[in-house]
Amino acid sequence: MTIGLIAAMHDEIASLLQHMDAYGSVRHIGMRDYYTGQIYGQDVVVVLARVGKVAAAATTVTLIRDFSVDTVVMTGLAGGLARGGAVGDIVVADRLLQHDLDGRPFWPQYQVPLLDQAEFPCDPTLRKRLEQAAASFLQEDFEARLDTDTRARFRLKNPTLHTGMIASGDRFIGDSGAVSQLQASLPAALCVEMEGAAVTQVCHEYGVPCAIMRTVSDRADDTAHLDFSAFLRDVASVYSAGVIQRFLEAA
Ligand code: ADE
């Protein structure tokens, strides 16, 4: 059983790669490096998808066709919407949708033309395993892995785990007007990011189970861009590595 591990940004996979066994190999395909090996006893292929839905879809197809992965797990950052909670919370998707897909008047808003569906569910078993890994990380590892200074700097207090819909689109949401629009049109969406729905759609089309987890890095408002790289380096990469460690150890 081989697990494809996708991250959108480099900092997130750097710490995962540190735990990859020495016999791992790297293949360069379509401007991406695919690292094959074992992490915590599991066969994995780790890859940096880069940003956006096209990048994520291309990466997922390669993982499935060239590496025959049995499952796909993606980690990354997200902007929190109404019920997405606070910065530092984790969202595990039960389903995803493309908030910028609009084929009207020929197809309903958000629906993927010719697939007749807008929302793509994550695999329930994989999703529950990811939820358990995220919950134990927050309960048992959070304080140990993030020092007091980092927690204070990003005002991280009792981060919580949410499960629900994630909305993806090829746009960084960084203003409160856009947030209000998304909240009104997609009240179920917990957070917004730029890749997850593409990964889930490709996995659906190939019949490969997948699960997606996001760390809330900002509130998608006018301050969303501040501290983005610092958050990625000091918080999100610690979260991703910690949750994936627990996820793989439980596999
Ligand atoms: N990823 C992290 N924050 C985001 C935002 N505000 N919009 C889109 N993707 C994001």
Can you tell me which atom of ligand 1 is nearest the CA of 219?
6
Angle between the 124-136 and 237-249 helix axes, to the nearest 10 degrees? Answer: 120
Is residue 215 in contact with ligand 1, taking CB distance under 6 Å?
no
Residue 64 alpha carbon to ligand 1 centre in Å? 26
Average pLDDT, the chain: 94
Q: Please tell me if the CB atom of residue 172 comes closer than 6 angstroms to any atom of ligand 1.
A: yes
Give the mean pLDDT of 18-38.
90
pTM here?
0.95
* Ligand 1 site-directed mutation target among 99, 170, 218, most atoms within 8 Å of CB: 218
Residue 223 in tokens: 């301050």
Return the percentage of the chain with pLDDT > 90, whole number: 84
What is the C-alpha separation between 5 and 15, in angstroms, rounded?
13
Ligand 1 contact, 192 CB (< 6 A): yes
For ligand 1, whether the C-beta of 89 sits within 6 Å is no
Query: Which atom of ligand 1 is least distant from the CA of 174?
Result: 6
User: What pLDDT is stored for residue 35 in this prediction?
Assistant: 96
Q: Is 218 a pocket residue for ligand 1 (Cβ < 6 Å)?
A: yes
Cβ-contact 91, 164 below 8 angstroms:
yes
Is 14's pLDDT higher than 90? no
Q: Is the distance from the beta carbon of residue 78 to the nearest atom of ligand 1 less than 6 Å?
A: yes
Under CATH, what is the fold of the domain 2-249?
Rossmann fold (3.40.50)
pLDDT confidence of residue 16: 86
Average pLDDT, stretch 144-173? 95
Rounded CA-CA distance 39/43 in Å is 7
Q: Measured from the CB, is residue 197 less than 6 Å from ligand 1?
A: no
Place of tokens 């020092």: 147
**220 CA: nearest ligand 1 atom:** 6
Ligand 1 pocket member 193 (CB < 6 A) = yes
Output the residue whose Cα is nearest ligand 1's atom 9: 193
pLDDT digits (tens, 9 = 90+) for 78-137: 999 976 689 999 999 999 999 999 999 999 999 999 999 999 999 999 999 999 999 999
pLDDT of residue 245: 95
Q: pLDDT, tens digit, for every residue of 123-153?
A: 999 999 999 999 999 999 999 999 999 999 9
Assign 13 a pLDDT band (cuts: 50, 70, 90).
confident
pLDDT tier at 156, thresholds 50, 70, 90: very high
Determine the atom of ligand 1 nearest the C-alpha atom of 194.
9
Q: Give residue-wise pLDDT tens across range 222-247.
A: 877 777 788 988 999 999 999 999 99
